[in-house]
Amino acid sequence: MQFSIYQESRRGARKSNQDRVAYCYSRDALLMLVADGMGGHPHGDLAAQIATQSITAAFRRAARPRLANPRTFLREAFTEAHYAIIQHAEDSGLPESPRTTCVACIVQDNSASWAHAGDSRLYHIRDGRILAQTKDHSLVQQLIDTGRIRKDAAAAHPERSRIFSCLGSERLPRVDLTQQTPLTPLDTLILCSDGLWGPLSEKIIGSTVLKLGVMQGVPELLDEAEQRAGRECDNLSVVALTWEGHSQAEQPDQAASSRMPPASAAPLPQAPGAAQAQDAYLSDEEIEHAIAQIRSALKRQTNDKT
């Protein structure tokens, strides 16, 4: 696989950063994800961290070196992450389970498959034009769909934080999955939290990527979003990839890493700040233990029903 990739997370005007962003890859498959901890509930950063660790750990287990079915993987990984958050809240005696939105994408076989819950977004861009994007699970999106507000009024709407699907709530999240989408060379995929897309139009996002590419264009988009949002600027997080194809003559791992910025070269989740990451960090062993408990409980429930 050959691709250029860039990731960054900023605190914005908030006191802390509750977003998490990550990518990891095997020889034949790549995972990217953004999780936006929900500030209306306690410990949103913890929920985002658990979701990130759970999904990346599941990818490392399954991508050997490719996934049997990317869409099935995403559906199961989101469910496991959801229950891992709830399990941790119960084990820790938290009065309420923390919650997070999430968007994740698998690139494999020159195609992309993605899933999301909440209002963290994915954009598929070609020649500066947005071919596809996720549809938010939010009240504002419902108002847009019914024609009650214009799309350009969404960012300033007082109910813009009303989200109907997330990981960690008392109900199973609604997870929307796309069909495998073929990629052509120079296609760009952008996964981001609402702190980035909220202040920016689709035209700005597409034209900036077309003009500058992901390595220069994404930092410029972050700067522009921060400037436009001002004192109301939310956490901003993004992982963006430009696809360059697959060459059988090259070692895929080497081709990928040679095009990554030094700060993003490690194929592991990267938290936005060391101190914040330590506050919400769970070891891989703790995540694996929680997932094992969840699988055992689900298996018992299935056996009881039969």
Could you tell me the domains of the chain? 2-305 (3.60.40.10)
Q: Beta strands 181-182 and 111-117: pairing type?
A: antiparallel
In contact, 125 and 190? CB cutoff 8 Å: yes
Please tell me the predicted confidence (pLDDT) of residue 263: 32
pTM of the model: 0.81
Residue 68, SS3 per DSSP: coil
Q: What is the reported pLDDT for 290? A: 55
Q: What angle do CA 230, 238, 94 make, to 5 degrees?
A: 85
Q: What is the largest CA-CA distance in the chain?
A: 58
Q: Which residues are 167's β-sheet partners?
A: 100
The residue length of the chain stands at 306
Q: Is 184 exposed, middle or buried (0-12, 13-18, 19+ CB in 10 A)?
A: exposed
Angle at CA of residue 76, ends 70 and 81, nearest 5°: 120
Using CA atoms, how far apart are residues 19 and 22, in angstroms rounded to an integer? 10
Q: How far is CA 131 from the centre of its chain?
A: 19
pLDDT tens for the chain, residues 1 to 306: 899 999 999 999 999 999 999 999 999 999 999 999 997 667 899 999 999 999 999 999 999 999 999 999 999 999 999 999 999 999 999 988 999 999 999 999 999 999 999 999 999 999 999 999 999 987 776 776 666 666 665 665 555 667 889 999 988 999 999 999 999 999 999 999 999 999 999 999 999 999 999 999 999 999 999 999 999 999 999 999 999 986 544 444 433 333 333 333 233 333 333 222 233 344 555 555 555 655 555 555 445 555
Report helix angle 70-92 to 284-305, nearest 10: 100
State in Å, rounded, how far the first CA of the chain is from the last one.
44
Cβ atoms < 10 Å from Cβ of 275: 8
